[in-house]
Amino acid sequence: MPEIELSAGTIDYEDTGGEGPVLVFLHGVTIDGSVWRNVVADLRHDHRCVCPTLPLGAHRRPMRPGADLSLTGIALLVAEFLDRLDLREVTLVLNDWGGGQLLVPLGRAERVGRLVLTSCEAFDNYPPGLPGRMIELAARIPGGLWLVMRLLGLRSFRRAPGGWGWMSKRPVPDAVMDGWFAPARASSAIRRDLAAYTRSVPPRRVLLEWAEGLRAFAGPVLVAWAVEDRLMPREHGPRLAALFKDARLVEIEDSYTLIPEDRPALLARTIAEFVRETDTGRTPA
């Protein structure tokens, strides 16, 4: 897996290469880029697919002590990543974690030509639902994250209602989830990075101001929302789409938050159609 040195530390990423449109896929907290593996498998022949592993708890290399791992700090790391790889006209694809949206209100979306928002944090829904709040609370209690990550090593705990069982309708393969949770189980420095992020969510007023700032994005936007999602309110899909000048809403049946796990083939087709139909050589926002 290639790596790149950024201001906060070394980031691992996957890059299929190729000459097609560039898709950059972002993942959620305690998840890594492998959540996109089945979507990328369908898209890689006609697109360049890039999947960075952000310092959100499943990263294998601790960031530098004192690095800015706040919500805005990690969003700016995404911008830095795009700069360092000189990626242009990027289709930025989000799932679960919503921080990538902040490139727009932060004025760093110059390399982003399109946005794809798939059942992700939005408005004041940070952190989302019981799983998000559990991680946030654990980060504030000495030893809390250690305990949660130990529990996530148990298969029964992973599928418990109200917890990770609400992330996907279909069980994520154990080997994949083992890979997600192993770094924070094994490393106190990784747990330190995760805690730095989870403690950084700003007040509701600030989150809503950032959401309003999304109106500045002029490029095409696809909002693909799981209608049965238990963590990201269904009404957030149309509400997000209404913020943008050029947006389309697609509602995904038979899926919870992790659409890349529950409906990867459908999501891949939907993204490919969106990119093809909006490939007009427009300038990024």
Check whether 283 has a pLDDT greater than 80: no
Distances 224 to 210, 237, 271 between C-alpha atoms, Å: 20, 7, 9
Write out the E strands in the chain.
3-6, 9-15, 22-26, 48-52, 90-96, 112-120, 221-226, 247-252
pTM of the model: 0.94
Check whether 121 has a pLDDT greater than 50: yes
Residue (of 137, 140, 95, 93) closest to 115 by Cα position = 93
**pLDDT, tens digit, for every residue of 196-241?**
999 898 999 999 999 999 999 999 999 999 999 999 999 999 999 9
Residue (of 143, 144, 142, 125) closest to 134 by Cα position = 144
With 0-12 CB in 10 A as exposed, 13-18 as middle and 19+ as buried, what is 283? exposed
3-state SS assignment for residue 75? helix
- Within 8 A by CB and 6+ apart from 11, the residues are 3, 4, 5, 52, 53, 54, 55, 59, 61, 77, 81
Q: What is the mean pLDDT of the chain?
A: 93
Strand partners, 189: none
**pLDDT, tens digit, for every residue of 146-191?**
888 888 887 778 877 767 788 999 999 999 999 999 999 999 999 9
